[in-house]
Structure 1
């Protein structure tokens, strides 16, 4: 039997928004600590992950970069399912991406229901070229009921705060759901049945623990050791 303290919490986060707003660059910056100014259009879905510590527990953040172009909508739609958190991104210099935010939130909610979500205004290093006012952005976040973050992937400004905020929110929800399950009926967690199910958010992802060597390799991969 796997003990509670050996369980690993994994959180699936989808990053959505129009093409060219910096979604792929944001993930690369957060997981690999690198930035490139050469924009390459994402085809379908890209995936990276990073392990962080929250309240003394290992939390694996799995980041799914969905293509922003509508021609890939049929491909990416399935990848929304099972997401436990969402980052909606627009660019400081792209008015269309700002106006598309409400549609992106609706798309995610249609597949995932209401999940922890943040609004990210990227490229604030280009604030002098901004096509949206701060008041507009604040009002949009308020109307959508989400937390607003202003980031610069290029300058590595505020990027890690986005994902730590979401991971912390999800960690609280998952632990609460886990405790609720235990209070109702103490289950047996085995290697053949490692996952709890919840009608609220789809799945509480409690996976088998990584071996030490594999965990060390993953932390090294994401730049933590």
Structure 2
């Protein structure tokens, strides 16, 4: 199947994980609404927003879930990792402890999602250069060691925010395109065993209904950071 035959209504579930106050909610607010809340409070529970993006001339929807970073909410939010095809692992470049927590968050992500989920390591608050505790080189080194994408962002001044989300969505779309073409090859008589793809794609109304059902009953507030 040619790339232009891929449906227009694919919906990619992407989760944001990391310690509390690293800036996850403001990254989402900047990406989805071009807003920033300097005095926002920590996210309680889970909230998600859907943003349309154009990839290779096709309209793709990214459904981004903002999970609470507080330890006491981890058991609640773990269910929301299921079905995710992309993830942003976020730390605050001005707080080394949040960087040191990335290993734990990565383990939790791997335990609750597809093992080949597309993941990007995000060093947020790059505007705080004078307060930096984690160097760019350290972030890159960790990303390379874990085979992750890497980028530094600032929700405050919008630096690289869109690029972070586009990197994930484009990679997922590329994987989807490859899998669609491989599937067509099998239908055309190529019976060679194909390697498994990196993600399971969620699409259409079924996923939207599932997301709404999952969110029902959860009280979502705008998050700090």
TM-score interval, normalised by the smaller of the two chains: 0.7 to 0.9
1:81 aligns with 2:71: no
Give the match's secondary structure for 2:112.
Answer: helix
Report the equivalent of 2:23: 22
Q: How does 1:22-101 map to 2 (within 5 A)?
A: 22-101=23-102
Deviation at 1:6, TM superposition (A): 4.8
SS of equivalent residue, structure 1 residue 120: strand
The alignment yields a C-alpha RMSD, in angstroms, of: 2.0
Number of equivalenced pairs: 195
Q: Are the aligned partners of 1:123 and 1:154 in contact in 2 as well (CA < 8 Å)?
A: yes
Instruction: Decide whether aligned partners of structure 1 residues 114 and 203 sit closer, same or farther in structure 2, where only a CA change above 3 A counts.
Output: closer
2:139 is matched with which residue?
Answer: 137
Is 1:114 the counterpart of 2:116? The answer is: yes
| Cα shift at 1:44 | 1.3
TM-score (norm 1): 0.80
Distance 1:206 1:125 in 2: 36
SS at match of 2:168: helix
Offset at 1:4?
4.4
Task: Give the Cα separation in 2 of the matches to 1:26 and 1:67.
Answer: 14
Equivalent runs, 1:146-165 vs 2, <5 Å: 146-165=148-167
Report whether the alignment pairs 1:206 with 2:203. Answer: yes
Q: Deviation at 1:200?
A: 4.8
TM-score, normalised with respect to structure 2: 0.80
User: Unpaired segments of 5 or more residues in structure 2?
Assistant: 189-195, 206-225
The structure, 1 or 2, with the larger RCO (C-alpha pairs under 8 Å, 6+ apart) is 2
